[in-house]
Amino acid sequence: MISVYNTPRELHIAAAWLWIRAALKEGDGLVGVATGTTTTPIHQMVARIYAAAPFDTRAIQLCAVDDYTGIEPGHEASCSERVRRQLVKPLNLGEDQALLPDGFTGHDAPGRYEAEINQRGGIRLQMLGLGEDGHIGFNYPGTSMGSGAFLALLPQSTKDTLHRLYGLPMDQMPSHGLTLGIRSILMSQRIVIAVTGARKAAIVREAILGPVTEEVPASALQLHRDVAWLLDKEAASKL
């Protein structure tokens, strides 16, 4: 399914309601989140909706698609910490309601994280953003489509972004990140991927209409039976 919105704000509202409905659905399973320039406004919209018209959040269980390894706990560059600030605290969730990667360390952390997700019923809806190179989570071009959770080597572009946005010193920069792999993401019951901006129009076209290839990780979403692409007009301009 492809939905096109006139403005990013309209997209953020629609995505927020999709996430809320999935989060409040009865039964087992988690709602997955991703942190980035597109998904952060969606989380903020969820929090605004809750502040304006509070709903019962006691049954919500969420998880995050990825996080950097080795960042000081509580640092704003941490994906897990951003989830806490953007959703856990604003929605008054308990610590046990958020399964986050920074709670898993060591070489076997990816396997233990994914096992805990499965133990909690898997992911009922995974919200994603899209990188300009087609990456989803930390699944960068060349990642095997059969990958489960793993420790991904971070490219220099990601390190530059961390330095620019969060002031993280280069000598303290993480070299890897824990991420759900493409196979892990495809095991979600439903996937929602939100994209805004003309600079991503070309990769949106490749991901949706191009061949399924490891060079465009998001093209793997063509293999899933229930994917919702939420695009603003600029991101959809090359379709």
The residue that leads in pLDDT, 48 or 154, is 48
pLDDT in tens, 167-213: 777 777 888 899 999 999 999 999 999 999 999 999 999 999 999 99
Report in angstroms the alpha-carbon separations of 237 from 6, 113, 205, 221, 227.
11, 38, 9, 20, 19
Q: What gap in Å lies between CA 70 and CA 233, rounded to an integer?
A: 38
Burial of 59 (0-12, 13-18, 19+ CB in 10 A): exposed
CATH number of the domain that 144 lies in?
3.40.50.1360
pLDDT in tens, 108-140: 999 999 999 999 999 999 999 999 999 999 999
Q: Is 230 within the bounds of a domain?
A: no
Q: Is 232 within the bounds of a domain?
A: no
Residues 67 and 79 sit within 8 Å (Cβ to Cβ): yes
Mean pLDDT, residues 15-40 taken together:
91
Q: Is 131 within the bounds of a domain?
A: no
Place of tokens 């903020």: 44
- pTM equals 0.91
Q: What gap in Å lies between CA 166 and CA 238, rounded to an integer?
A: 32
DSSP assigned state of 185: H
Tokens of 26: 């009865």
Burial of 85 (0-12, 13-18, 19+ CB in 10 A): middle
Q: Is 92 within the bounds of a domain?
A: yes
Q: What gap in Å lies between CA 105 and CA 61, rounded to an integer?
A: 21
DSSP assigned state of 97: G
pLDDT on residue 160: 81
- Residue 226 in 3-state DSSP? coil
Mean pLDDT, rounded, of the chain: 92
Residues 185 and 191 sit within 8 Å (Cβ to Cβ): yes
pLDDT on residue 169: 75
Count of the separate structural domains present in the chain: 1
Q: Is 50 within the bounds of a domain?
A: yes
Q: Is 216 within the bounds of a domain?
A: no
pLDDT on residue 156: 85
> Which range of residues forms the domain containing residue 164?
21-34+45-126+138-192
Q: Is 10 within the bounds of a domain?
A: no
Q: Is 2 within the bounds of a domain?
A: no
